[in-house]
Chains A and B, each alone.
Chain A
Amino acid sequence: MIGLGNERPLLAAQGLSKWYGRQLGCRDISFQVHEGEVLAVVGESGSGKSTLLQLLSTQLEPSAGRICYCMRDGITRDLAALSEAERRFLFRTDWGYVHQDPPLGLRMAVSAGANVGERLMAVGWRNYRRIRTTAVDWLDRVEIDSRRIDETPRTYSGGMRQRLQIARNLVTNPRLVFMDEPTGGLDVSVQARLLDLLRGIVAELGLAAVVVTHDLAVARLLSHRIMVMKGGEVIESGLTDQVLDDPREPYTQLLVSSVLPP
């Protein structure tokens, strides 16, 4: 998946910290994500996972540290130095953001087709037939019956909404996708199907992804590497199977052992 001459990381964070006043969000986090690589961020509630994701996707401004991103033209740029217009463009072409709660990432009042087509129209597509064909194609890929293309997501089940959100994000062929608890709030069989789908798409498109989750099973299935967070800091990181099967830190050991057996 990782092409030759692509040793440069797609996304590099250096010394990222975020303080909410005197309250710590996260502290001194550094890591890299390469093209086609899936990084899982795990930890309990309040460990700073979501803060980290929002920092990376420039929805929050870091108190310290910087994030560099390798643009499509091969030039690595500091995200803080981008203009807002450039950042928005990045967000709707090269990036995706999958929210835990689908209504946050979807337009609930417009049809599924328009939801998928919005990004295309935002980057200048002006041919209705082409937009629609692409939308049908993506609905097929995320296993939504394309006959329901003209229905609003309000009529969709939770699992379908989440799949629609994924289609909407991936339609512009982004290179990096942020996912915040993508399977949260779904029942177990739907979770399994969604994970299967995600794994297939991520591999097929060679996507890089940062997945925030508290579910170690999700991390194990989706990710190549894993970072364990606690109290706003990264306490352990490494290859997913290595960390999960042979945890070094006491906290990670606790986390791994506290998964309930079915």
Chain B
Amino acid sequence: MNAPAYNFAYLDEQSKRMIRRAILKAIAVPGYQVPFASREMPMPYGWGTGGVQVTAAILGPHDSLKVIDQGSDDTTNAVSIRKFFAKTAGVQTTTSTLKATVIQTRHRIPETPLREGQVLVFQVPIPEPLRFLEPRETETRRMHALADYGLMHVKLYEDIAQHGRIATTYAYPVKVEERYVMDPSPTPKFDNPKMHDCPALQLFGAGREKRIYAIPPYSNVVSLDFEDHPFERYRHDGKCALCGAVDSFLDELIMDDHGRRMFMCSDTEYCETRRALGNGAQGFSKATEAAPA
């Protein structure tokens, strides 16, 4: 298992130094996208190559790594990345949010509050929040430099005009430390408030787009909105069918062709912990809802 053919955590030391420098710069300028020389990783783009490189650069031999994919510890992406680092770095892996020192995530922030000393690494597909409004990279960089962010509100305006409310549900833009507008990666907007004043360090890696950005601990993170259409968290109106949680972000599961559905925690570790403490499990039929007539 501890194959000596690999350097610790797969990347060579020079590459890790380069990535660390980018990370330090990103922490120094919260929300700013730092370009870095993204390496080829032994997985396709879109599978978390950015996050993996950041994790590889910050991982030490005594770290305990947790990897989640859409909140779950046991989906393909999470399992393969966890195995990757178990093999190439020999670090301890865990599914416990409390015990982990480094958590790599795809599209969720754990329900269990993070603490000081932990690092949350996000996998980011498209780091540029203005991308779909302004396709020119030269122009978006200039807009960031001049804090020229009127365009971001054009998108929110358009949402309200078309849907009557801000219909953006994930990758909801935030402003970090009252300066840079940032894409929090495709996390549901339910998780946005968790980024504000978070004791843990949050790092974002985009492999294909070659960008790293960061939110240092206890930073001010504000979701953009209008005075008369304030930011609202969204969660399904229901409780987890397995653990009965009413405060967690829920996944919807369609049960059959008649539209019966059930909700359950997206964060599997949170759900399991609650069940181990004796919560929930109030019968299958109660938790499911009949299809609307």
Q: Which of A85, A119, A121, A123 contacts B157 (CB 8 A)?
A: A121
A118 to B149, CA, bound (A): 10
Residues on A with beta carbons closer than 8 Å to the beta carbon of B12 = none
Measured CB to CB, the closest approach of chain B to A238, in angstroms, equals 40
Residue among A114, A122, A150 with the highest chain B CB neighbour number at 10 A: A114
Q: Is B161 an interface position by the 8 A CB rule? A: yes
Q: Is B237 an interface position by the 8 A CB rule? A: no
Residues on B with beta carbons closer than 8 Å to the beta carbon of A122 = 148-151
The stretch of B57-65, B114-122, B187-195, B225-233 in contact with A is B225-233
Closest A-chain residue to B166, C-beta based?
A128
A117 touches B228 (CB 8 A): no
Could you write out 6 A-B pairs with CB less than 8 Å apart? A84-B146, A88-B146, A88-B148, A119-B150, A127-B227, A132-B161
A172 to B102, CA, bound (A): 49
How many residues on B have C-beta within 8 angstroms of the other chain's C-beta atoms? 20
B157 touches A117 (CB 8 A): yes
In the complex, besides A107-B154, A118-B154, A131-B157, 20 extra interface pairs with C-beta distance below 8 angstroms are A107-B133, A111-B161, A114-B154, A114-B157, A117-B157, A121-B150, A121-B157, A122-B149, A122-B150, A122-B151, A123-B150, A126-B153, A126-B227, A127-B227, A127-B228, A128-B160, A128-B226, A128-B228, A132-B161, A150-B161
Q: Is B14 an interface position by the 8 A CB rule? A: no
Q: Is A110 an interface position by the 8 A CB rule? A: yes
Measured CB to CB, the closest approach of chain B to A69, in angstroms, equals 19
Q: Is A182 an interface position by the 8 A CB rule? A: no
Q: Is A129 an interface position by the 8 A CB rule? A: yes
Q: Which of A110, A118, A132 contacts B150 (CB 8 A)?
A: A118
Closest A-chain residue to B148, C-beta based?
A88
Q: Is B162 an interface position by the 8 A CB rule? A: yes
Measured CB to CB, the closest approach of chain B to A232, in angstroms, equals 30
Residues on A with beta carbons closer than 8 Å to the beta carbon of B13 = none
Measured CB to CB, the closest approach of chain A to B158, in angstroms, equals 5
Q: A111-B162, A113-B161, A114-B154 are in contact. Are A127 and B148 (CB under 8 A)?
A: no
Measured CB to CB, the closest approach of chain B to A119, in angstroms, equals 7
Contact surface of A with B, Cβ cutoff 8 Å: 84-85, 88, 92, 107, 110-111, 113-114, 117-119, 121-123, 126-129, 131-132, 149-150
A114 touches B158 (CB 8 A): yes
Closest B-chain residue to A118, C-beta based?
B154
Measured CB to CB, the closest approach of chain B to A56, in angstroms, equals 21
Residues on B with beta carbons closer than 8 Å to the beta carbon of A131 = 157
Q: Which of A85, A117, A132 contacts B154 (CB 8 A)?
A: A117
A107 to B228, CA, bound (A): 24
Residue among B133, B150, B227 with the highest chain A CB neighbour number at 10 A: B150
Measured CB to CB, the closest approach of chain B to A85, in angstroms, equals 5
A118 touches B148 (CB 8 A): no
A-contact 0/1 string along B221-247, CB 8 Å cutoff = 000011111000000000000000000
Residues on A with beta carbons closer than 8 Å to the beta carbon of B150 = 92, 118-119, 121-123
Closest A-chain residue to B153, C-beta based?
A121
Closest B-chain residue to A121, C-beta based?
B153
Q: Which chain B residues (121-162) contact chain A, with CB distance < 8 Å?
A: 133, 142, 146, 148-151, 153-155, 157-158, 160-162
A128 to B229, CA, bound (A): 7
A150 touches B157 (CB 8 A): no
B161 touches A114 (CB 8 A): yes
Closest B-chain residue to A127, C-beta based?
B227
Residues on A with beta carbons closer than 8 Å to the beta carbon of B226 = 126-128
Residues on A with beta carbons closer than 8 Å to the beta carbon of B148 = 88, 122
A85 touches B227 (CB 8 A): no
Residues on A with beta carbons closer than 8 Å to the beta carbon of B227 = 126-128
Residues on B with beta carbons closer than 8 Å to the beta carbon of A121 = 150, 153-154, 157
The 7 closest A-B pairs by CB, nearest first: A122-B150, A121-B153, A128-B226, A121-B150, A127-B227, A85-B146, A114-B154
